[in-house]
Amino acid sequence: MRVMSTKTQKRSVKFTVQGTPDAIFICYCSHCKKNAGAPGQIASLKSPSDFQDLILTISQSAKFKCENVHVLEGSEHINTWILKDNLSGCEKHKKFCSRCGCTLWTIPMKHSGSHWIVRTALLENGFDKFPYKAEFFASRKMPVAAAVVKSFDTMPGA
């Protein structure tokens, strides 16, 4: 079984995840867009019994069973922000680092807390290891503007 570890930006919270996510997706709902500060947010899903040891980094998400996610250090820095205005009608509990603001995972109460949506960007090479396989709220996706977007290999002027 795969075990991954990571730390938040300030290295305040360290945790691990174990196993393979139940699902990996990108979501275009308004909450995910605002939380990611981007046109969408990639996530992966896993049931609680599948998390044991994995440390995450920021961005994309995966669904894991809550028992497969283990906080190794910094639990005193984990705070909760509860979103109540969800399309599902159920609360979402966003867990974040109080020192750097990094979202660690979201607990959708629609599943009674049994699954945690972990930000795969927190995981080392998380985007490569966990490519998304589904899109939620795809009708809210921003149209691709590749024809008018300039691309740079690095930060311009750096």
- Read off the pLDDT of residues 136-152 as tens digits, 9 standing for 90 and up: 777 877 766 555 667 67
The confidence score (pLDDT) of residue 12 equals: 83
CATH 2.170.150.70 fits 3-148, yes or no: yes
Higher pLDDT, 101 or 33: 101
Query: 3-state secondary structure string, 70-113?
Result: EEEECHHHEEEEEECCCCCCCCEEEEEECCCCCEEEEEEHHHCC
Question: Domain segments of the chain: what residues?
Answer: 3-148
- Read off the pLDDT of residues 38-93 as tens digits, 9 standing for 90 and up: 665 555 544 433 333 222 222 367 888 989 899 999 999 999 999 898 777 889 89
The confidence score (pLDDT) of residue 7 equals: 64
The confidence score (pLDDT) of residue 119 equals: 82
- CA within 13 Å, CB half, 126: 28
Residue 46 DSSP symbol: B
- Read off the pLDDT of residues 19-28 as tens digits, 9 standing for 90 and up: 888 888 877 7
SS3 content of the chain, % helix, strand, coil (to 5): 20, 35, 45
